[in-house]
């Protein structure tokens, strides 16, 4: 699997999914940086230049325990995350992975989907059949093309170049404090550099000015040296030009075929949203597909996928575009690099500007944890208003559609550890035993998997605002109440998409 200098942060929400799948520690172990490595962002004129500012604990990657989430973020290159996911998938029954395989054509009927695929090496073709097909096949999605779905928005409005570099000895002489990113703000080659592993491998990202061509490898090396502030021997391992887009698919599928990840939304990679948003797409769509395949999901369940995810995508795209307006070259100011009082003042002024504006890119729990599916047809409203949207501030809420608020119940026990693979009826206080039994009987009658979890923590009643909360497989609240306010079968039919 080739090295790519793309997604490098698995955020707190994605790591919570990894915990639920039992692989969070494997992801942490696979990170090429040592445990406890600072998840800070350094701003400097050049690597061997003047320091300007520091943002600590970016993306909430510090391992200090926080009641808001069950797992801290993890700095790890996307190729390493994919390796863990691949190995885990191969360990599961009834899963076959095929690489170097190209999708040629797709047909669907009322009963299922038929796909013709070919082996790239041998050219041999075969036909595969399934009940559903998901096109998580990237920005140039073949599935999206076959369905004739157009992307809407701005195409390729800015060019960039990502590099993976081997720079022997740079880590040992780097004068800046350890960090996952170094933003280098200078007029020659503004860019971002950071470590890819514990050795000599680094990533570097630079924007290409409008109407300029992508620098060839030799010129790219010269520009990196200027950004570093000294000549260093280096080898380019990956030379990866890319364009920033702001795009969303006109629709997210057709009948039994769905789109997920970059196949249905694209945005600049500022804020660490891309891979993580694709993982959350897979979680939302995945539990709904599982419910249909297992027989307990209603006919309307899959139709909720686009309605739930699209507003999240639009909000994240808007925020990523806003972050792209403050990339390194847009932070360059006169007189930053001198040793005199004027330059020191310029750096202090820029530091104040950075600390006032850039945390919105690196401290965004309001987006990462605060999105909700209020108003979804498979969420039972309780008459309360959804929480006001925030960018950086996360206010836990059990309003139906929100992520179930988290608590640590002990030294190692997360509230989420008590949730089941299907729906969970969380009991926060006594006094509703008869309603609990009604829930249990109604779930058995329709073969809906339901875990009853009575968590012994006095804080939960106030946190959830109700004695009972019905939590979906994706850990979002589907309903809450002190008592059952409707027939339990009717309620479960709503949240499983079996509309009457």
Rounded CA-CA distance 137/308 in Å is: 21
Backbone φ and ψ for 256, nearest 5 degrees, come out as -100, 10
- Is 152 part of a structural domain of the chain? no
Helix (H) or strand (E) holding 329: none
- Is 461 part of a structural domain of the chain? yes
Residue 443 is part of a domain; what is its CATH number? 3.40.30.120
- Is 456 part of a structural domain of the chain? yes
For residue 20, the model assigns a pLDDT of 97
Q: What is the DSSP code string of 237-270?
A: EEEEEEEEEEEEES-SEETTEEE-GGGTEE--S-
Provide the 8-state DSSP code for 476: B
Do 481 and 468 contact (CB within 8 A), yes or no? yes
Instruction: Spell out the per-residue pLDDT of the chain, length 500, in tens.
Output: 445 656 789 999 999 999 999 999 999 999 988 888 999 999 999 999 999 999 999 999 998 899 999 999 999 989 899 999 999 999 999 899 999 999 999 999 999 999 999 999 999 999 999 999 999 999 999 999 999 999 999 887 778 899 999 999 999 999 999 999 999 999 999 999 999 887 799 999 998 887 889 999 999 999 999 999 999 999 999 999 988 889 999 999 999 999 999 999 998 888 889 899 999 999 999 999 999 999 999 999 999 999 999 999 999 999 988 888 888 999 999 999 999 999 999 999 999 999 999 999 999 999 999 999 999 999 999 999 999 888 889 999 999 999 999 999 977 899 999 999 999 999 999 999 999 999 999 999 999 999 999 998 999 999 999 999 999 999 999 999 999 988 999 999 999 999 75
Residues 6+ apart with CB under 8 A from 10: 18, 27, 73, 74, 76, 81, 275, 276
- Is 407 part of a structural domain of the chain? yes
Do 316 and 170 contact (CB within 8 A), yes or no? no
Rounded CA-CA distance 8/10 in Å is: 7
Backbone φ and ψ for 407, nearest 5 degrees, come out as -145, 150
Residue 477 tokens read as 């609240």
Of 191, 203, 193, the closest CA to residue 237 belongs to 203
Of 12, 134, 143, 6, the closest CA to residue 82 belongs to 6
Provide the 8-state DSSP code for 78: H
SS3 414: strand
> What is the span of the domain harbouring residue 457?
370-495
> Torsion over CA of 213, 218, 222 and 223, rounded to 10 degrees?
30
- Is 430 part of a structural domain of the chain? yes
Q: What is the DSSP code string of 159-208?
A: EEEEEEEE-TTHHHH--SPP-SEEEE--SS--EEEEESSSSSEEEEEEEE
- Is 67 part of a structural domain of the chain? no
High-pLDDT (> 90) share of the chain, %? 84
- Is 299 part of a structural domain of the chain? no
Q: What is the pTM of this model?
A: 0.95
Q: What strands, in cross-sheet order, belong to the sheet with 151-166? A: 51-55, 41-44, 181-184, 191-195, 201-208, 151-166, 235-249, 265-266
Terminal C-alpha separation, the chain: 48
What is the number of structural domains in the chain?
A: 1
Helix (H) or strand (E) holding 157: strand 151-166
Place of tokens 């030294």: 411
Distances from the Cα of 335 to the Cαs of 50, 356, 476, in angstroms? 12, 21, 50
Place of tokens 């595969």: 128
């Amino acid at each position: 699997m080739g090295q790519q200098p793309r997604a490098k942060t698995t955020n707190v929400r994605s790591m919570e999914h990894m915990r639920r799948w039992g692989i969070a520690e494997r992801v942490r172990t696979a990170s090429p940086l040592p445990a406890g490595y600072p998840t800070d962002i350094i701003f400097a004129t050049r690597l061997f230049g003047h320091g300007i500012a520091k943002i600590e604990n970016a993306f909430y990657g510090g391992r200090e325990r926080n009641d808001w989430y069950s797992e801290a973020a993890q700095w790890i290159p996307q190729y390493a995350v994919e390796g863990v996911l691949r190995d885990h998938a191969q360990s599961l029954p009834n899963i076959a992975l095929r690489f170097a395989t190209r999708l040629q054509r797709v047909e669907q009927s009322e009963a299922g989907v038929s796909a013709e695929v070919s082996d790239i090496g041998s050219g041999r073709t075969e036909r595969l059949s399934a009940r559903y097909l998901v096109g998580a096949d990237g920005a140039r999605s073949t599935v999206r093309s076959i369905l004739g779905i157009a992307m809407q928005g701005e195409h390729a409005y800015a060019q960039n170049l990502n590099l993976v570099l081997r720079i022997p000895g740079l880590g040992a002489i780097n004068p800046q404090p350890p960090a996952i990113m170094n933003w280098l703000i200078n007029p020659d080659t503004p860019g971002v550099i950071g470590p890819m592993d514990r050795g000599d491998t680094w990533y570097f990202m630079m924007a290409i000015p409008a109407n300029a061509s992508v620098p060839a490898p030799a010129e790219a090396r010269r520009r990196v040296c200027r950004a570093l502030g000294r000549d260093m021997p280096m080898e380019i391992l990956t030379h990866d030009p890319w364009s920033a887009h702001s795009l969303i698919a006109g629709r997210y599928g057709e009948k039994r075929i769905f789109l997920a990840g970059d196949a249905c939304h694209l945005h600049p990679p500022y804020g660490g949203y891309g891979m993580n948003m694709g993982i959350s797409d897979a979680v939302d769509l995945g539990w709904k597909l599982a419910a249909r395949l297992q027989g307990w999901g209603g006919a309307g369940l899959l139709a909720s996928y686009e309605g739930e995810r699209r507003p999240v995508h639009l909000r994240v795209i808007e925020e990523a575009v806003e972050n792209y307006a403050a990339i390194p070259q847009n932070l360059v100011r006169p007189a930053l690099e001198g040793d005199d009082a004027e330059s020191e003042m310029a750096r202090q002024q820029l530091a104040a500007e950075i600390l006032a504006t850039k945390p919105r890119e690196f401290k965004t729990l309001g987006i990462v944890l605060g999105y909700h599916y209020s108003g979804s047809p498979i969420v039972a409203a309780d008459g309360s208003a959804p929480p006001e949207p925030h960018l950086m501030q996360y206010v836990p809420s059990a309003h139906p559609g929100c992520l179930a608020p988290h608590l640590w119940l002990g030294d190692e026990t997360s509230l989420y550890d008590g949730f089941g693979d299907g729906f969970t009826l969380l009991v926060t206080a006594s006094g509703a035993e008869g309603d609990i039994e009604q829930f249990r009987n109604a779930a058995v009658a329709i073969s809906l998997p339901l875990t009853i979890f009575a968590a012994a923590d006095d804080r939960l009643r106030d946190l959830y605002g109700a004695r009972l909360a019905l939590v979906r497989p994706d850990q979002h609240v589907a309903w809450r109440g002190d008592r059952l306010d409707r027939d339990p079968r009717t309620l479960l039919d709503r949240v499983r998409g079996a509309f009457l």
